[in-house]
Amino acid sequence: MSISTIDNASRRETAIRLLFVILFAAIYSVTKLVLTTLVIVQFGFKLVTCETNSNLSTLSKSINRYIFQILQFVTFNQNEKPFPFSEWPSDDP
């Protein structure tokens, strides 16, 4: 395999990754909005009941892990694509 073939394949992979980065940047924006909503609702629960909602806590943990996976991918610290191209992160560490 010649160097130019390797360079072309590498450029193609990088271009495809750029498309995924753009996609995950959009997903990240939506996910931040969802997480902000969860924070507001959780504060509401805490103010009204003096307790946090365990279901909201579990959901927010998995969303936090998902955001982390997105950031790892778009910053080239991880090559595995986040959900929906892999499993949704659990709330377990």
- Pair of tokens at residue 67: 């955001």
Which pLDDT does position 90 carry in this prediction?
76
Domain positions in the chain: 3-74
CB 58 within 8 A of CB 88: no
Q: What is the pLDDT of residues 62-91, one digit of tens each?
A: 999 999 999 999 999 999 999 999 999 876
Q: What's the mean pLDDT when you consider all of the chain?
A: 90
Q: Which of 15, 32, 16, 14 is nearest to 70 (CA)?
A: 32
Q: Return the residue matching tokens 């709330």.
A: 91
CB 47 within 8 A of CB 69: no
Which pLDDT does position 32 carry in this prediction?
95
